[in-house]
Amino acid sequence: MLKIDPSRCSNSQNACFLTELVRDCTFKVERIYDFRGGKRLNVLKNLVGILDKVEKPSRYIGNEYNSVKKRADMRMCMIFPDLYDVGMSHFGVKILYDIINRSNFASCERSYLPWFDMQSAMVENDVPLYSYESYTPINEFDIVGFTLQYEMAYPNVLRAMRLGRIPSKREERDDGDPIIIAGGPCAFNPAPMEKFMDAFLLGDGEEAIIEILKAVKEGVNRKDKLKKLSTINGVYVPDYNFKVEKRLIADMKKEWAPIDQVLPYTEIVHDRGVIEIMRGCTNGCRFCQAGMIYRPVRERSDTEIFELSSEILKSTGYEELGLLSLSSADHSQIKGTVSLLKEFKDTSLSIPSTRANAFTVELARAINTVRKSGITIAPEAGTQRLRDVINKGITEDDIFGAAKLAIENGWKRIKLYFMIGLPTENDEDVQSIGKMVEKIKKMGFFEVAATVGVFVPKAHTPFQFDPQIMPDEAFRRIKLINWARKFAKLNFTDPRKALIEGVLSRGGKEIGNVIEKAEINDLIFADWDERFTPDKWMELFDDEKIDLEKLMGLKDVKTNFPWDFVDSGISKGYLWMEHQKAISGELTADCRNGCTGCGVCPQFGVDNVIQSEILK
């Protein structure tokens, strides 16, 4: 407790101080944006009373630099169903936020799911979930959009609706409630969340989002709005349309890149300026859902990346710039891009998602900003046979060549990513992970860290037909690698978490009941280790009579999947063919080197946008 020396007390200057006090203690933002009556004032007034009592209050205050306060006829709130620290790093929200706020008829605000302490305080103090721009309760918006980036966040979505006083089931909502829409990769299997969503946007949102806002604006009532939404390409409205093709933009227009990126006060997961250098991936890794559903590849040119990056850094003041893509080292102009971006003084570059080969190390050396303490490569599997099954496209020589080059260039720590439970995996494949870790350690690294995840087959991939190993088997396989702990720090993701993720990702409409009960039972933030309670999930699966063995089991081309009506552009036949090639260990080449016949380009009348090809 502070002890105050009474002799230091003074009342002088208090009188003139008062007028300034009123100004400095008042929250100005709410006055400016209180354009719909007094409700915003109440949210903010109550909010101020509780921020002193919660952990990291800065994650709840909004009012960030570059956030947009705009009056508009149509108001949308984008919600990332996780903590602010995670959600603020998500690039998709930045893109749509920017596009909507530059439109002449709509505004976009943001919200996130508060942590438990804040949720309790909000409920106790009658504060509904609110937007971070105008402190408007989310149920006052015309549209509320959720991004579904990972399945474990499904209960979070329902909690956000509960905190926002929006009925979670679509059948319970009426004309006074917002239209609830979801997008993101998980939306490609809409079934588990169908009970709760009015509509899903599948694929690229840059053009579709404006059409969605217009449809909702023009709709005279809820039914009419949903009917209009169902006519938009890429939008699935349950009960209104029964087949949907993903939305695709042929090219990434420069004006779609968000420049004035909102700056968080609190430290977030990826606290840096972001430029998306490429969308889609041509590698054809068979386990990768993003690589399948975001085809084809669309690269930005090196000069455009430079110009946009310059504007982003100027607008934000960020000291780090991240080049975003699914596989940055594959960008045809990556070397030129990096040398252009090195012109930015006092700015470091980060290039995540690179491949496990020597070029990755060369890139890291070229940007010269990766701390020599750590480099990351992802072999994914321990044997070449299994890497061929998953079509990873890298050899043992690539991996050890990259490690050798890394150590020659001063890296002392290396991080490796692997998966167990991949299709056709045998014990030798698993043990080889340990052998690879041992060999890399013996190359002279001070520290080797290996993260080993349990493979979860995803919808719209060639492995959607494959079984997922159950936790008991996963624990057995983990024991086969445990001996390698003397060479590396081994981190295993919890196999029970993988099982739950598998159920949520490949389940059907029946999973909606599980999600609903999970939220009621407080199984939110399930992806956070400290909040993960697998036994409660298993009880829910039992209660709802979910046949886990069947759901996780082997399927074939005749299986009716809950997502069959969603057309990603890649036919089920192609996925089945890729599945069979996987079983026989046959590789499929990178489609930059020739079409592999997946069908996306002809269906949408597009082609890969490869900048080096354009220059030719």
CA distances from 211 to 10, 529, 563 (A): 62, 39, 24
Check residue 61 for interaction with another protein (CB under 8 A).
yes
| Cβ proximity to another protein, 367 vs 601, nearer residue | 367
Check residue 6 for interaction with another protein (CB under 8 A).
yes
Check residue 114 for interaction with another protein (CB under 8 A).
no
Which of 46, 62, 114, 252 forms a contact with another protein (CB under 8 A)?
62
Check residue 16 for interaction with another protein (CB under 8 A).
no
Which of 243, 371, 558, 616 forms a contact with another protein (CB under 8 A)?
371
Token pair for 574: 């192609």
Burial of 147 (0-12, 13-18, 19+ CB in 10 A): buried
Count of residues in contact with another protein, rule CB under 8 A: 50
CA distances from 416 to 48, 372, 386, 492 (A): 45, 16, 16, 12
| Cβ proximity to another protein, 7 vs 560, nearer residue | 7
Which 324-353 positions form the footprint of another protein (CB under 8 A)?
Answer: 346, 348
| Cβ proximity to another protein, 55 vs 549, nearer residue | 55
Check residue 522 for interaction with another protein (CB under 8 A).
no
| Cβ proximity to another protein, 130 vs 418, nearer residue | 130
Which of 80, 318, 359, 525 forms a contact with another protein (CB under 8 A)?
318
Check residue 560 for interaction with another protein (CB under 8 A).
no
DSSP state letters, 463-486: GGGS----HHHHHHHHHHHGGGGG
Which of 41, 45, 57, 431 forms a contact with another protein (CB under 8 A)?
57
Separation of alpha carbons 133 and 30, rounded Å: 9
Burial of 547 (0-12, 13-18, 19+ CB in 10 A): exposed
Which of 40, 316, 378, 503 forms a contact with another protein (CB under 8 A)?
316
Residue 436 host element (H or E): helix 427-441
| Cβ proximity to another protein, 289 vs 316, nearer residue | 316
**Rounded least distance, CB 266 to another protein, Å:** 6
Check residue 610 for interaction with another protein (CB under 8 A).
no
Token pair 């005279």 in the structure block, residue: 220
Which of 4, 479, 530, 605 forms a contact with another protein (CB under 8 A)?
4
Q: Which stretch binds another protein (CB under 8 A): 45-53, 248-256, 301-309, 579-587?
A: 45-53
Check residue 35 for interaction with another protein (CB under 8 A).
no
**Rounded least distance, CB 11 to another protein, Å:** 4
Separation of alpha carbons 100 and 93, rounded Å: 11
Token pair for 381: 């599997």
**Rounded least distance, CB 96 to another protein, Å:** 22
Separation of alpha carbons 370 and 351, rounded Å: 9
Separation of alpha carbons 317 and 186, rounded Å: 33
Which of 35, 65, 116, 528 forms a contact with another protein (CB under 8 A)?
65
The sign of the dihedral angle between the CA atoms of 104, 73, 145, 566 is negative
Check residue 26 for interaction with another protein (CB under 8 A).
yes
Strands 447-454 and 143-147, how do they pair? Answer: unpaired
Whether the Cβ atoms of residue 173 and residue 165 lie closer than 8 Å to each other: no
Cβ contacts of residue 331 below 8 Å, gap of 6+? 277, 278, 299, 325, 337, 611
Which of 267, 428, 539, 543 forms a contact with another protein (CB under 8 A)?
267
Check residue 24 for interaction with another protein (CB under 8 A).
yes
Which of 105, 255, 317, 408 forms a contact with another protein (CB under 8 A)?
317
Contacts with another protein, residue ranges (CB under 8 A):
1-2, 4-15, 17-18, 20-21, 23-29, 48, 51-52, 56-58, 60-65, 263, 265-267, 314-319, 346, 348, 371
